[in-house]
Structure 1
Amino acid sequence: MNTEISRKQRLKFFFINVAAFVGIFLLLGFITLQLLQSSAYRQTDLSLSQMADNEHLIEMEITRYQQGNPFLAQMPNDQRMDKGPDGNNRFNTQIILWSKDGKILNKDVLGGRFTELENLALDKKNLDSIEALNLKSTSDSAQKLSFRSYTIKADQEDGIAYIQFLANTNQIADSMKTVETTLVLCMVVFWLISIGISFYISKMNMQPIMNSWRKQQEFVENASHELRTPLAIIQNSLQQLFTRPEHTILEESEPIAQALNETRRMNSLTEDLLTLARSDSNQLLLQKEVVEPKAFIQQLAQPFQEIAEMNDKQFILENFADQEMQIDEKRIHQVLVILLDNALKYTEAKEKIVLQSEISNDSWLIEVKNNGPSINDEDKRHIFERFYREDRSRSKETGGYGLGLAIAKQIITQHKGKLSVRDWEPRGVVFQIRLPMK
C-alpha cells in the first residue's frame, strides 16, 4: 500500500479513537456529576419537605416570633428545636416568616443568623418546591452562601403570609467542588493515557489492512506469473505455425497440441482464481442438499481406484459413514478430487492410498492418506496458502499451481468444517476433513 495512503488512514483511525475516548469520558463525567449532585442533596431536600409537613414545628416557630423569645424550646417529648422530625441536626436550618409584601418578620428571633440572610428575597413563583439559592455574605463579599429552599403559603396569621425553610449547603457545595476538580483531573489524565492507547489501537487496526494488501499484491503477482507461462507457450506455438504456412495440420500437430494443452491448463487456472475471488467476496454460495455419504464416497472413489490400479498403486477404501449429510455435493466432490489427485501424484508404485469415511463425534470424518513423502512442519504451516508449493520444481512437473489446497480449505471452512494435515507414521501424510452433522 502507498506509504502516504497508509499514513493518512492510520491518522484517521487515531483521531477517530481519540474522539471516541473524549466522548466516552465526557458522557461518563456528566452522568457521574449528575448522580453525585442528586445523591448529595437528597437527604437535605427530604429534611426540608418533612419540616414543611410538621405543623407542630411551624407553630413553635410562630410562637417564638409572637413572644419574641428566640430561646423558647418547649416541645413535647423533650424534642429540641435543633432536632428535626427525622432526628437530623437542624443547626444549619432556618425558618423564615414572610409578610405579604416580602419582609422578614422574625428578624429578632433569628438573631445573628439574620446577618447572613439580609440579601434574601421572597420568591413567590416557586412555592411548594425545592430550589437552590446563592447569597453573597455581608461580612465577606467574595464568599457565597449556598442554600436549599422550600417555601409554602401560610394562613395570614399575625401577618404571616409565607413560610420559608432554608438549609445551608456550603459544606456540600465545597465537597462537590472538590469532587468535580478531582473528576476533571482524572478525566484529563486518563484522556492523555487514551491518546497513547489510541495510537497503539490505530497501529493495530492497520495491521490486518496491510496484511490483506500484501496478500492481494502477492496474489496478483503470482497469478500474473502463472498466466504468463502458458500464454508464452501458446504464443510461441502460434508463431511457429505462421513461419511454416505450407505445412499441413498433421505436420504441425505437435505445436497445436501443445497450445491446446496450455489453453486447458490456463482455463483450469482461471477457474481456480475465479473460485477464490468469489469466496473472498462471499459470492461463493453453497447449494446444500441431503447426501448419502456411503454412496457418494463409493461413486467418487471408483475412477481413482482404477487409475491407482493402472499405475500399480494400492487404493484402499474404508467406507463406513451411513448417516445422511447436508452438503454442497459438487463442492465436497471438488475437495476430495483435489486431495485424491495430490495423493496419486505423490505416491510411487507399490505404495498405498487410503480413503477413509466414517461418522465420529457428530461429525463426518474423511481422511485421505498416502505413504508417499512426508511434509515438514514449516511446509505444513503454509500448505493451505495460495500459490504455495512444497516442491516447486516437482509441482510444475505435475501441473500444479498451488491453488488446490487453498480452494479445498475455503470450501470446507464455508461448510463450518475443518481441513488439517498431519504425518502418517512411519511415513506419509494424512489430510483430514471434519464436517459437522448439524
Structure 2
Amino acid sequence: MNTEISRKQRWKFFFINVAAFAGVFLLLGFITLQLLQSSAYRQTDLSLSQMAKNDRLIEMEITRYQEGNPFLSQQQTPDDLQMSNGPEGNNRFNTQIILWSKEGKILNKEVLGGRFTELANLSLDTSHLNSIQSLNLKNSTAESQKLAFHSYTIKYDQDSEVAYVQFLANTNQIADSMKTFETTLILCMVVFWLLSIGLSFYISKMNMKPIMSSWRKQQEFVENASHELRTPLAIIQNSLQQLFTRPENTIMEESEPIAQALNETRRLSGLTNDLLTLARSDSNQLLVQKAALDPQPFIQQLAQPFQEIAAMQDKRFVLENFANETVLVDEKRVHQVLVILLDNALKYTDAKDKIILQSEISNDHWLIEVKNSGASISDEDKKHIFERFYREDQSRSKETGGYGLGLAIAKQVITQHKGKLTVRDWQPQGVIFQIRLPLKN
C-alpha cells in the first residue's frame, strides 16, 4: 500500500478514535452531573414540600411571631417536639420560615433575629407558588459571599395579617460540594482524554496492521499468480508460434509442440480453477453443502486409485478404514481435500516408502489422517505450509507439478466445515496431516 495513503488512513483512524473518546467522556460527565444534582437536592426539596404541608408547624411559627417568642418551640409538648424535629420537621440550623404580608414585607424579623441580616435582600415572589425554586442572595454582611437557597412558598388563606409563608433551606454546602465534584470530574475527564489521545494513536496503529498485512498478502498473491500464469502461457505461445513457422508440416510431425501446448493448457486450467476456489472462499461464496455420508465406502472408493498408483511406484499404501458412523459433510469438498493430501503424499515419497490413510470416529469427530514416511517438514515450514503459493524450497520448478495452492484450498475447505487441518511429524521420519471434522453441525 502506498505510504502516503496508509499514513492518511492511520491519521483518519486516530481522529475518529479521539473524537469517539471525547464524545464518550462528555456524555458520561453530563449524565453523572445530572444524576448527582438531582440526587443531591432531592432530600432538601422533599423536606421543604413536607414542611409546607405541616399545618401545626406553620401555626407554631405564626404563634411565635405573634407572641414575639423565638424559643416557643422549646415549650411545646413532646408530640409537638417530635413532629418539629422529625423527618417532616424544621431543621432550625438549615431552614427558615418567612412570614410575608400582602405588601411583601417580612413580618417575623424579630423572631429571625441575627439571621434576618442574611435575608435582607430577600423579596417576595408570588409567581411560583407551591413549587421548588432556587434563590441566590448577596450576604449583606459579606457582599462577596453569595447565599444559595431552595425555596417553597405557599399562600396562607387564614384570616390573618400573614398572607404568604415561605420555607427556605440553605444549599451552600451542597452547592460547594457540587462545585468541588464538578471541578474534580472535569480534571479527571481532561486527564483521561489526554491519555486517550495516546491510546487512540496506538489503536490506530494496531488497526492498520491487519490492513497492511492483508495488502501485502494480496500483493504476494497477485505477483505469485501472475508468475504462475505467465509460465504456461509462454509455453503455449511458443508452441503455437512454432506451428506457424512450419505450415507445411502435418499434425503428426508437429505432435510434440501440440502435446506440450495441451499439457500446459490443462495445467493452466487447473491453476485458474484453484485460484477461483480461493477467490470464492475469500468472498464467502464458496458454499459448503452438507449431507449425510457413510464414510467407509466413501474412503474405500477414494483410496482405490491411489493404491494402484502406489503399487505402480513400488510404494506401500495402507488403508485403515474404521469409521462406521454417518457423518454430515460436503462429500465433493472432502473428496477434493483428500485428493490433495494423498496426491502430495505420493509426490513427496520415494520407492519403498509407506503411505497410510486412516479413518475413524473419535469423540464426536471424524478423524482422517494421511501419513507418509517421506521427508519431514521443518518447524519453520510448518508455520507457512498452508499459505498460498508457499513451497518449502521457494523455487518455481514444476518437478512435482504443483503451484503451492493445494494445502491452502484444503485448509479453507476444512475450516468452512468447522473442522481443523493440522500437520505434525511422524516418527522417526515422515509427516502426518490430520483432519478433524465434527459429526454434526
TM-score if structure 2 supplies the norm length?
0.95
- Distance in 2, matches of 1:347 and 1:327, equals 29
The answer (yes or no) to whether the contact 1:51–1:85 under 8 Å persists in 2 is: no
- Distance in 2, matches of 1:2 and 1:391, equals 30
Q: For the structure 1 residues 322 and 85, does the alpha-carbon distance in structure 2 shift closer, same or farther, using more than 3 Å as the test? A: same
The answer (yes or no) to whether the contact 1:372–1:427 under 8 Å persists in 2 is: yes
| Per-residue deviation, 1:280 | 0.6
Of residues 239, 249, 252, the one that matches 2:251 is 249
Question: Match for residue 169 of structure 2?
Answer: 167
- What letter corresponds to residue 426 of structure 1 in structure 2? P
Of residues 277, 293, 296, the one that matches 1:291 is 293
Question: Match for residue 316 of structure 1?
Answer: 318
Question: Match for residue 301 of structure 1?
Answer: 303
| Greater displacement, 27-36 / 404-413 | 27-36
- Distance in 1, matches of 2:394 and 2:213, equals 24
| Per-residue deviation, 1:93 | 0.7
- Distance in 1, matches of 2:383 and 2:215, equals 21
Question: Match for residue 60 of structure 1?
Answer: 60
Of residues 116, 126, 129, the one that matches 2:128 is 126
Please give the residue correspondences for 1:340-359 in structure 2 after superposition, counting only pairs within 5 Å: 340-359=342-361
| Per-residue deviation, 1:232 | 0.9
Please give the residue correspondences for 1:103-122 in structure 2 after superposition, counting only pairs within 5 Å: 103-122=105-124
Question: Match for residue 411 of structure 2?
Answer: 409
SS at 1:256's partner residue? helix
Please give the residue correspondences for 1:340-379 in structure 2 after superposition, counting only pairs within 5 Å: 340-379=342-381
| Greater displacement, 128-137 / 272-281 | 128-137
The answer (yes or no) to whether the contact 2:134–2:150 under 8 Å persists in 1 is: yes
| Per-residue deviation, 1:395 | 5.9
SS at 2:418's partner residue? coil
| Per-residue deviation, 1:392 | 4.4
Structure 1 alignment gaps of length 5 or more: none
Question: Match for residue 47 of structure 1?
Answer: 47
SS at 1:160's partner residue? coil
Q: Give per-residue Cα distances to partners, 1:292-329, cap 9 Å, x unaligned.
A: 11121111111111111121111111111111111111
Question: Match for residue 325 of structure 1?
Answer: 327
Q: For the structure 1 residues 393 and 183, does the alpha-carbon distance in structure 2 shift closer, same or farther, using more than 3 Å as the test? A: closer
Question: Match for residue 22 of structure 1?
Answer: 22
The answer (yes or no) to whether the contact 1:51–1:84 under 8 Å persists in 2 is: no
- Distance in 2, matches of 1:355 and 1:81, equals 93
SS at 2:424's partner residue? strand
Question: Match for residue 194 of structure 1?
Answer: 196
| Per-residue deviation, 1:78 | 8.1
Residue 221 (structure 1) aligned with residue 228 (structure 2): no
Question: Match for residue 429 of structure 2?
Answer: 427
Structure 2 alignment gaps of length 5 or more: none
Residue 75 (structure 1) aligned with residue 76 (structure 2): yes
| Per-residue deviation, 1:238 | 1.1
| Per-residue deviation, 1:58 | 1.4
- What letter corresponds to residue 329 of structure 2 in structure 1? I
- Distance in 1, matches of 2:406 and 2:274, equals 8
Of residues 83, 92, 95, the one that matches 2:94 is 92
- What letter corresponds to residue 18 of structure 1 in structure 2? V
- Distance in 2, matches of 1:2 and 1:324, equals 52
Number of paired residues?
438
- What letter corresponds to residue 36 of structure 2 in structure 1? L
- Distance in 1, matches of 2:80 and 2:405, equals 93
Question: Match for residue 272 of structure 2?
Answer: 270
- Distance in 2, matches of 1:76 and 1:153, equals 27
SS at 1:397's partner residue? coil
- Distance in 2, matches of 1:179 and 1:393, equals 69
Question: Match for residue 31 of structure 1?
Answer: 31
Q: For the structure 1 residues 361 and 68, does the alpha-carbon distance in structure 2 shift closer, same or farther, using more than 3 Å as the test? A: same
Q: For the structure 1 residues 103 and 289, does the alpha-carbon distance in structure 2 shift closer, same or farther, using more than 3 Å as the test? A: same
- Distance in 1, matches of 2:372 and 2:396, equals 17
Question: Match for residue 137 of structure 1?
Answer: 139
**Identity of aligned pairs, percent?**
80
- What letter corresponds to residue 277 of structure 1 in structure 2? A
Q: Give per-residue Cα distances to partners, 1:61-83, cap 9 Å, x unaligned.
A: 01011112223222221866996
TM-score if structure 1 supplies the norm length?
0.96
| Per-residue deviation, 1:393 | 4.9
The answer (yes or no) to whether the contact 1:132–1:146 under 8 Å persists in 2 is: yes
Q: Give per-residue Cα distances to partners, 1:186-207, cap 9 Å, x unaligned.
A: 1101110100000000000000
| Greater displacement, 156-165 / 291-300 | 156-165
The answer (yes or no) to whether the contact 1:99–1:162 under 8 Å persists in 2 is: yes
| Per-residue deviation, 1:85 | 2.1
The answer (yes or no) to whether the contact 2:321–2:360 under 8 Å persists in 1 is: yes
The answer (yes or no) to whether the contact 2:134–2:149 under 8 Å persists in 1 is: yes
- Distance in 2, matches of 1:391 and 1:258, equals 26
- What letter corresponds to residue 77 of structure 2 in structure 1? P
| Per-residue deviation, 1:134 | 1.4
Q: Give per-residue Cα distances to partners, 1:233-285, cap 9 Å, x unaligned.
A: 11111111111111111011001100110111011101101111111111111
